[in-house]
Structures are given as C-alpha cells and as structure tokens.
Amino acid sequence: MKQVIIEGVKIVPVHNMLLEIGTEEIPARFMPGALKQLKENGARLLQENRLVFGEIYSCGTPRRLVLFVRELVDKQEDREEKKKGPSKELAFDEHGQPTQAALGFARKLGLTVEELEVEKSEKGEHLVAVQKIPGREAPEVLGGLIPGLIKSISFPKNMYWEESGTRFARPIRQLLCLYGSERVSFSYAGLQSGTQTRGHRFLSPGPFTVEAADGYFACIEEANVLVDQEKRSRVIQDMVRDAAAGCGGRACMDPELLEEVTFLVEKPHAVLCSFPESYLELPREILVTTMQSHQRYFPVENGSGLLMPYFVTVSNNESAPVSNVREGNEKVLKARFADARFFYDEDLKTPLADKVKKLEEILFQEELGTVYEKTERVVGLARFLVERMPGLTDMERKAAERAAWLCKADLTTFMVGEFPELQGIIGEKYALQSGENEKTARAVFEHYQPRFAGDSLPQTAAGAAVALADRADHVAGCFSIGIRPTGSQDPYALRRHSLGILQVLLEHELPVSFGELIEQALLLLKDRLKEINIEETVEQVREFAWQRLRHYFQEKGLDYD
C-alpha cells in the first residue's frame, strides 16, 4: 500500500481513483468544455470534502469521459466543529455550579459539563463545545459525490432517455469507478457503477473488467482505445503527415480541424485519398472549406503552398479495407466538388453588382428592414467616413463607396447559400471576376474583419471605412429598437460588433469619434424609425462600448483610465 506524508507530519495511505462515464457518441465540439468541467468540478468537490490528492486530470473520447486522480487519501481529514452554548452567566449559578442550561447543552451533545470550554468574544463569555468529527472512508465519500459531479457537467444541448429524466449530452450506458482496486458504489441515470467497461466499438466491442485504477490505461489501450486526447492528437498529426508525404505533399494542419477530428475517433487511422485534378481550377478557399468544414478532411499542398489533388481522411476503424475507405471518401468529396463547381459557374453568369437588387428579398431585421435597405445606409455611412479620412485619393474614396454597395451582394449567391462561412471571401472573388478594381474587391472581403477575437483588422482605408459603416449601422439599429445583450446571451453579436468598431478606429487612428459615428448611423435610420431619441441612444451605445474598451485595454496590459 502506497503512503504519503501530509503536511510533513502524518503518514496516510493513498490510492489512485478512476471514474469513466461511458456514453453514446458525444459531439466533438462538446468534448473540450466537458473535460474541463469534469476536472475543475472534480478537484473542487474533493477539496470541499477534505479529500487530499496529488494531481487530477481528465481525458476522453466521443464514447467516454474519464477522470483520474493520483494519490487520493483513503479517508477524509478529521475536523473540529465548535458549537456555541449559553452565556457564562446563565450556565453557572453564584456558587459556580452548572445550571440546567449548561447541563442541557452538554447532554444534547453527549458531553459532560467538564468537557465544555468557556470562550470570550465581543459579546461576552459563552460555553462552547469543541467536537472532533472523524473523516469518513474515501470510497464512501466518493459514492456520494460522484452523482453530483456527473450532474454538474453542462452541455450546449442535452438529451434524456430514461425514466428519471436525467439529462446529458448523450445517453450514459455504463459507469466505471475504482478507488485503488475497490469499486466505488453509486447509482446514476438508472445505472449502478461497476468495474467493467468496453473497448473500441468495432475492434474490441465486448465488455471487460478493470481490476484496479492503475491498470485502466493499459487495459483500455489493449482494447484499441487511445483515451488520452493529447496522445491521440499527436498520433493523428504524425499519421496525417506521413500519409501526405506518400504523394510528395504536406498536410494543411488546421488546429480547429485537428481538435475536432481528435474527438471524432477512438483509434485513428489515416488514409490518403485523391480527387480529379480539374477541380483545382476552383478557388482554393472553396476547396479547402469543402474539405475541412464539411468533410473533416486534411487538404494536401506542395512545397510552394499550392493545393494538390489529394486529401487525408482519418478513419475510426483500421480493420475496414483501406480501398473501401478511400473509395467512399473520394466519392463523397467528388460529389461535393461537383456541386461547388455548379454553384460557382452559375454565380458567375451575372456580375456581382447585378445581385445587389436581390438583397430586397432578404430580411435583415423586421423593424430595420431588408439587407438592401441596410446596404443603402452602409453606403451613406461609408461616404460620411471617407470624407473625413485624411490623405485618401479619389480612387480610394470611390473604392470604399463601391465596396459598401457590393459588400452584402454575395449573400444572394448559390455559393454562400451552401457555404455561409465564405461570406466576404466569395464576394472578393466574384468582384474581381466581375471586373471591379482590386481595392474595391479587397474592401468587400475586409469589411467582415475582425470576425472573431484575435482576427486580423482591415488593412486598407476602404476596408476600414466599410467595416465601420456596417458595424455602426448594426449596433445603432439594434439599440434604437431596444435590442440589448442580456447576460451571456448576445444573439446579434453586439459586443463583438462594438469592439470591432473600437479596434478599427484605434488601429487606423481615424479623426472620427465613436459617438459621432453612432450618431450618423442613427440619423440615417430616422426615415425608417420615426421615434428615435438620438442623444439618449448615442449615450447608451457609448456606455455599452466603454465596457468593451476597458476589457480590450486590460487584455493588452494597459490601464484603461
């Protein structure tokens, strides 16, 4: 039995503890958050319940969440509990003899009066009883804690599947929990905890017994499951790189895609596949988006950074014939690319400018009108901005106004309808194909920046002007009709849009204040919204944005004042 020294004095026995929550396939995007909660909530519960441990970590696959605790003591630390009794005046008579108040207090606690103490405080002297409460055995405590730990894990969406109405990301099918070699007993979601688990659903489907927590990782790996996501991620990277090298290329290793694929498989197997070279005529962004976002494939490029007609897929079943895996994935991607080519060719039959009128068919917001009406306001705001931006040429001013007119036109295209994440990217491509100048086309792309935290900001003056105009209209419009973020809910992304305005204003050092920009946006909304208190709304938006600015400065290590 292993022992450790606690606080340099007491030597206590310790064992490792293991919890495995076996489930049906959990969506990959749920996994990082769930594992973080499992670890943090587990550590907090152990500390709150006086169970000392060495280290704690969580890991998992789509079919299991695992918590492993090293060197967990075999029982809780003892604790002392102090209970306050009657005042000294009431507890003893003039002869110093205990009264019924003192005797009753002692009797209630199973003590004698002699075992009580007198304690001084600001309110005088009182009798107190100090009781030593021995700690309970670890397995007993764990059995009471773990159901609450499992329940504490929250997911973006839940399911319920059995009579008790328990909710979890996906149905729980087995519970394994061991303290050393001892089973920790508890019930949850209609299941009783046990010592059995299952391996890979295809390669080792049958149940097997885990004898002790220490042996779990070796057992589960023998059952063809790489349960540690960090190890699984490294294996996937190596496999994908080796597969890409097989055709003389290198894999495009997008970190988000790698994380997603890591949580889609339990035992990865990489397969190199190909597609007809003729599809390389399509823009790279279309091909990469189709492979990465829609199919979870890793594109392959050559030493010059150009795409090759190859991709790598990661299978969860190495026993399946490689030829079948390759053929199936190639067939799916070829169909996807055929659709993309059709959309691309159809979209290019008319210039981008001709698509602007179709924005009348797309509602931006019921009270704020269509995207076409929004576009007209964005053009007005862009014109207002470029007139105040120093050093611009006439060509740059015209490029900004033209880009403001075209910036939402790609929303009407077949391509964006199929690939919404290509907004702006496709707009730039189609603008160039339609004969627009490069500054205009680039501003169409840049007006969506920054799209997320840490994203690049618009680099051109025209792009900055259209980005500011689009966001100012969005924020001013929402505030003018009473739309505000509530708590963590921000369906109109007003926090992100407000911060984007501030970032662009700061980056380009524009001689336009935030309040002035919002005021102009509200003036352009007056024709549609008759009842706008411009001064009051500007102040509300300014106060809202100020909170974003404080946070932005603090992230950069600056004093916001």
- Supply the mean pLDDT for the chain: 92
Number of helices followed by number of strands (H, E) in the chain: 18, 21
> Phi, psi at residue 20, to the nearest 5°?
-125, 125
How large is the angle between the packed helices 494-508 and 461-480, nearest 10 degrees? 140
What torsion, rounded to 10 degrees, do the Cα atoms 232, 233, 236, 238 define?
-110
Residue 19's H or E segment, with its range, is: strand 10-23
Averaged over 458-473, what is the pLDDT? Answer: 96
- pTM (predicted TM-score): 0.84
Query: For the segment 477-499, what is each residue's pLDDT rounded down to a tens digit?
Result: 999 999 988 877 888 999 999 99
Asked which of 271-275, 415-419, 434-438, 553-557 is least confident by mean pLDDT, the reply is 553-557
- Within 10 angstroms of residue 252's Cβ, the number of other Cβ atoms is 20
The answer on pLDDT for 76 being more than 90 is no
Residue 4, pLDDT > 60, answer no
Buried b (16+ CB within 10 A) or exposed e, 102-138: beebbeeeeeebeebeeeeeeeeebbebeeeeebeeb
d(CA 264, CA 439): 42
CA-nearest of 435, 367, 366 to 406 is 435
* 525 DSSP assignment: H
- Return the percentage of the chain with pLDDT > 90, whole number: 77
User: Which residues are CB-neighbours of 231 under 8 A, at least 6 positions away?
Assistant: none
* pLDDT exceeds 60 at position 300: yes
Q: Say what the pLDDT of residue 71 is.
A: 94
pLDDT at 262: 98
Task: Check if the beta carbon of residue 172 is closer than 8 Å to that of residue 21.
Answer: yes
Alpha-carbon span 383 to 402, nearest angstrom = 10
pLDDT 10s digits, 344-379:
999 999 999 999 999 999 999 999 999 999 999 999
Separation CA 494–CA 490 (nearest Å): 7
**Left, alpha or beta for 47 (phi > 0: left; psi -120 to 50: alpha)?**
alpha
- Which long-range contacts does 23-27 make (Cβ < 8 Å, 24+ apart)? 23/63, 23/64, 23/65, 23/168, 23/169, 23/170, 23/171, 23/172, 23/173, 24/63, 24/170, 24/171, 24/173, 25/62, 25/63, 25/170, 26/62, 26/63, 26/65, 26/169, 26/170, 26/263, 27/62, 27/169
In this structure, are residues 174 and 195 in contact, taking their beta carbons and an 8 Å threshold?
A: no
What per-residue confidence (pLDDT) applies to 561? 67
CA dist 164 → 9, 167, 187, 188 (Å): 46, 9, 12, 9
Q: Strand, helix or coil at 472?
A: helix
Predicted local confidence at residue 97, as pLDDT = 84
Predicted local distance difference test score (pLDDT) of residue 5: 47
Per-residue confidence (pLDDT) for residue 433, from 0 to 100: 96
**What is the rounded average pLDDT of the residues 532-560?**
85
* Burial of 401 (C-beta count, 10 Å sphere; 0-12/13-18/19+): buried
Q: Rounded distance, CA 512 to CA 519, Å?
A: 11
CA distance 406 to 431: 8
* Per-residue pLDDT, 560: 62
User: Which tens digit of pLDDT belongs to each residue from 503-525?
Assistant: 999 889 888 999 999 999 999 99
Average pLDDT rounded to a whole number, residues 399-427 = 96
Q: For the ranges 276-280, 408-412, 508-512, which has the lowest average pLDDT?
A: 508-512
Query: What is the C-alpha to C-alpha distance for residues 410 and 278, in angstroms, rounded to an integer?
Result: 25
Whether 10 shows a pLDDT value over 70: the answer reads no
pLDDT tops 60 at residue 342: yes
Indicate the helix (H) or strand (E) that contains 13.
strand 10-23
In whole angstroms, give the CA distance from residue 116 to residue 127.
Answer: 6
What's the confidence (pLDDT) of residue 6? 52
How many residues appear in the chain?
561
Sequence letter at residue 421: E
Q: What is the 3-state secondary structure (H, E, C) of 229-247?
A: HHHHHHHHHHHHHHHHHCC
The two beta strands, 250-251 and 191-192, are unpaired
In whole angstroms, what is the distance from residue 559 CA to residue 135 CA?
Answer: 48
pLDDT value at 8 more than 60: no
| pLDDT higher than threshold 60 for residue 441 | yes
Neighbours of 376 (CB within 10 A): 18
pLDDT in tens, 105-123: 888 888 887 778 788 877 7
- List residues bridging with 251 in a β-sheet: 300
Close Cβ partners of 376 (under 8 Å, ≥ 6 residues apart):
none
- What percentage of the chain reaches a pLDDT higher than 70? 98
CA nearest to 248, candidates 304, 289, 296, 332: 304
Range with the poorest average pLDDT among 122-131, 213-222, 513-522: 122-131
Mean pLDDT along residues 327-348: 97
